[in-house]
């Protein structure tokens, strides 16, 4: 699998070799450890489909957000945990590691990295609570098991993330764009919400944070029916985008739109399944 070796040029921060190893091409997403046995140790019988991988990544990040919410921690912790989660599964197969267990471990690690530390047993209990869909009695019984899982998986996640714990998120760039481009607070909030939503996809593995920031702002403006100041956005000193980056922003915009389209399809399928159940009134 080949990472995209392209150094960031944004004025906010120069991204070095550590960032470069976590940027991938779209065709790499067709050749992850979960999807192939040719270059990895995943047995042929355990290979999963691309759609299943997308679904498990989505559910894993949903689990992360729910645990972080129950811990009453800021969004930054969830965002960092999601990035760890996606990076981990570019090194390991979803067939070999249970996605919710890895997600819980990523939360525990992110609380340390973002300096919002929580007691191990507290994180374990919240993981159990989310995993059991709020069943407190069952959560208490399974808490000790979660403690052991988080302890065991923490070093595994660290190793597979190459001990690279410094994560740069698009939020910093969006905040600066608000000032530079005189963007309204509502648009900025919408752009950040799009970034949060798309953490359930692999967008954070395909584009640098400044590219995602530009695409999220453009998407937020477009869906509100407002003019997208393309020239100003592409030539922003805050972002420091190159001509090659302009194409990447357009591709990222398409990926954001595709993500929401898939989410809508999943929601419709869920509604159809619910309505077809006995006693649903459908």
CB 166 within 8 A of CB 18: yes
Q: Cα angle vertex 214, ends 219, 230, to 5°? A: 80
Q: Give start and end residues of each alpha helix (H) in the chain.
A: 17-20, 50-70, 75-88, 99-113, 120-131, 136-160, 171-180, 185-198, 203-206, 209-223, 230-234, 243-276
All domains in the chain, ordered by first residue: 24-160 (1.10.472.10), 171-276 (1.10.472.10)
Is 108 within 8 Å of 138 (Cβ atoms)?
Answer: no
Kindly state the tokens that stand for 130.
């989310």
Calpha distance 160→157 (Å, rounded):
5
Residue-wise pLDDT tens digits, 221-232:
998 888 878 888
Give per-residue pLDDT as tens, 147-201: 999 999 999 999 999 998 889 999 999 999 888 888 889 999 999 999 999 999 9
Task: Give the separation between CA 63 and CA 143, rounded to whole angstroms.
Answer: 16
Which pLDDT tens digit goes with each residue over 207-250? Answer: 999 999 999 999 999 988 888 788 888 888 989 888 888 899 99
CA 268 to chain centre: 23
Is pLDDT of 2 > 70?
A: no
The burial class, CB within 10 Å (0-12 / 13-18 / 19+), for 233 is buried
CB 34 within 8 A of CB 48: yes
Please write the tens of the pLDDT for every residue from 105-144. 999 999 999 999 899 999 999 999 999 998 999 999 999 9
Q: φ, ψ for residue 44 (rounded to 5)?
A: -55, -40
What pLDDT sits at residue 85? Answer: 98
pTM of the entire predicted model: 0.86
Give me the chain's average pLDDT, please. Answer: 86
CA distance 125 to 144: 8
């Amino acid at each position: 699998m080949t990472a995209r070796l392209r150094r960031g040029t944004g004025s906010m921060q120069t991204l070095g070799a550590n960032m470069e190893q976590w940027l991938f091409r779209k065709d790499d997403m067709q050749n992850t450890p979960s999807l192939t046995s040719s270059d990895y140790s995943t047995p042929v019988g355990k290979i999963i489909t691309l759609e299943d991988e997308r679904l498990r990544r989505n559910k894993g990040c949903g689990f992360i957000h729910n645990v972080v919410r129950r811990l009453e921690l800021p969004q930054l912790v969830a965002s960092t945990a999601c990035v760890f989660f996606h990076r981990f599964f570019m090194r390991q197969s979803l067939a070999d590691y249970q996605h919710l267990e890895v997600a819980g471990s990523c939360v525990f690690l992110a609380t340390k990295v973002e300096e919002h530390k929580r007691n191990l047993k507290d994180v374990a209990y919240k993981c159990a609570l989310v995993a059991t869909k709020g069943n407190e009695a069952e959560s208490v019984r399974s808490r000790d098991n979660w403690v052991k899982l988080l302890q065991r998986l923490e070093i595994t996640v660290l190793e597979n993330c190459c001990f690279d714990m410094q994560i740069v998120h698009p939020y910093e760039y969006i905040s600066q764009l608000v000032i530079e481009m005189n963007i309204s607070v509502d648009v900025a909030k919408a752009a950040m919400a799009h970034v949060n939503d798309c953490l359930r996809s692999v967008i954070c593995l395909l584009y640098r944070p400044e590219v995602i920031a530009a695409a999220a702002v453009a998407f937020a403006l477009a869906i509100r029916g407002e003019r997208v100041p393309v020239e100003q956005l592409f030539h922003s000193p805050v972002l420091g985008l190159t001509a090659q980056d302009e194409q990447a922003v357009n591709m990222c915009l398409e990926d954001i739109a595709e993500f929401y389209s898939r989410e809508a399809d999943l929601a419709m399928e869920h509604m159809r399944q619910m309505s077809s159940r006995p006693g649903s009134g459908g």
